[in-house]
Amino acid sequence: MLMQSPGQMIKLELKAAADQLAHSQNGSIFSLPTELLLRVVSSLPIGSIRNFMANRSLRVVSLLVEHLEIDLSWLRPGHFPQSQVPPVTQPDGFAALSLVMNIRSLSLEGIADWIWGPDLAKLREVVFNMKLIRIEIPFLRDPHARYACVWPGSSNIEDKWEGDLGEEIRKLLQAQPLLEEFKLTDSSITWTSLYGSLKTSDVPNLKSLQATPNVAVAFLRAAPRLESLNLMITEWDDRLFSEMETNSAAVGPFIRRFTIRVWYYETWLWDNLAKVLALFPGMEELSITINSQTTATDVVPASFYFRRIVSKVFVLLSLRHVEVRFETLHHDTPEIFEVETRSIVELKTACLLLESVIDPGRRLWTFRPDCQNSRGFAPHLVGSLAEETLWSMEDLPDLLKSD
């Protein structure tokens, strides 16, 4: 029998220990000190090292991730050619998702039926078991809606589904009692589906909501702690305003941050903007985005809409910050974003507590005391703002990033 060297015996012992720990239920090898792990890994074959490090990196990343954005488009045939669907080392991706135990913020996009699709029950189970503070769902489709769209990969399963989208949303909310921020930016759901069923116990801690006005009315009556409201673009009318007025009576005075997106041609809303703003008299921060994405060459400049906003905000006595954005296809025409200094002064005159303004040209204005004029203040242009985009994985340690 051949005698083994001490080095060979140590390697065999370390390999046996690594194999035992790697296959144990608690996976304690992943919590070993880095120095010891280095000694263990040095004894493993190249293939084992690759698998070991892949699993270790996955677990380390899963503990670091608090915000996760997932595009589920690849789950539905027809969205991407099969050659563009990346291979995965773990066939059960939802099991891997369950490793992200510290996640607090989740964004799910790409398919519009994950919350009710019969074949996605496992995904719902994983999401429902998370302890989330924030959820963002760009779109949910109601197959029972009159104008429901046909999506790539759609089947007759939708025709047979007899559930209610409002109830499915309630199940999601009920599973997340810690939820503070909910973003449902678009949906074909009818407002009555949620309106008649949503209860305060479904959203006991909700503080921030982003939704279409038709969906928002259901939350206004059920979320007593709501303080931030972001209304997506839609066409307003007397019926919608009446619903908004009725359901915001209790929570309206407590809304501190209000955001709304408006079509440039939305006559009803521009004529009645003061009435809408007056529903939230305690507002301190106001953000209005004007969508003027038209191919017309004679585009009305941002200054026109800015002046209309100035003439409507007199109802907001607590207003401190205003931001106005202007969306247009004519980015090569900088003068289209300009507003007059006089309009900034008039805005401050209408709202005496106003502290800062961001105009459509992304310029920041503040106000300084000035005893030389009857107003008692003078506008001060601080400068232009630049927005920085955080790329994926920028907040992860370098050792976890691939070359």
- Residues 174-187 pLDDT 10s: 999 999 999 998 76
pLDDT at residue 38, as a whole number: 58
Q: How far is CA 20 from CA 11, 15, 56, 286, in A?
A: 14, 8, 15, 59
- pLDDT for residue 259: 98
pTM, full prediction: 0.78
Q: Of 167 and 34, which is predicted with more confidence?
A: 167
The mean per-residue pLDDT over the stretch 81-97 comes to 56
What pLDDT score does 39 carry?
Answer: 58
- Confidence (pLDDT) at 139: 80
pLDDT tops 60 at residue 299? yes
Of 72-81, 172-181, 238-247, 362-371, minimum mean pLDDT range: 72-81
Least confident of 39-43, 47-51, 322-326: 47-51
Residue 152, pLDDT > 50, answer no
Average pLDDT over residues 203-213: 96
Concatenated DSSP letters of 55-80? HHHHHHHHHH-SEEEEE-GGGSTTSS
Mean pLDDT of the chain: 80
Among the ranges 27-36, 63-72, 120-129, 288-297, which has the highest mean pLDDT value?
120-129
Which of 32-41, 111-120, 359-368, 376-385 is the least confident region?
A: 32-41
Instruction: Say what the pLDDT of residue 70 is.
Output: 80
Please report the pLDDT score of residue 371 as a whole number: 86
Mean pLDDT of 2-19: 55
Average pLDDT over residues 375-402: 71
For residues 255-265, give the mean pLDDT.
Answer: 96
* pLDDT higher than threshold 50 for residue 153: no
What is the mean pLDDT of the segment spanning 38-47? 54
Give yes or no for residue 399 having a pLDDT over 50.
no
Question: How far is residue 400 from each of residues 32, 64, 381, measured CA to CA in Å?
Answer: 17, 11, 43
Of residues 150 and 215, more confidently modeled: 215
pLDDT at 20 over 70: no
Residue 26 has pLDDT above 60, yes or no: no
* Residue 326 pLDDT exceeds 60: yes
Q: What is the mean pLDDT of residues 336-351?
A: 96
pLDDT at 108 over 70: yes
Closest among 139, 169, 136, 141 to 154, alpha carbons compared: 141
- Report residue 385's pLDDT band, with 50, 70 and 90 as the boundaries: very high
Neighbours of 355 (CB within 10 A): 14
Checking if the pLDDT of 341 tops 70, the result is yes
Report yes or no: 219 and 255 within 8 Å, Cβ to Cβ.
no
Tokens of 401: 């990033």
What is the mean pLDDT of the segment spanning 137-162?
A: 60
Instruction: Output the pLDDT for position 88.
Output: 45
Q: Nearest-CA neighbor of 189 among 167, 216, 165?
A: 165
Which residues does 161 contact at the CB level (< 8 Å), separation at least 6? 116, 118, 143
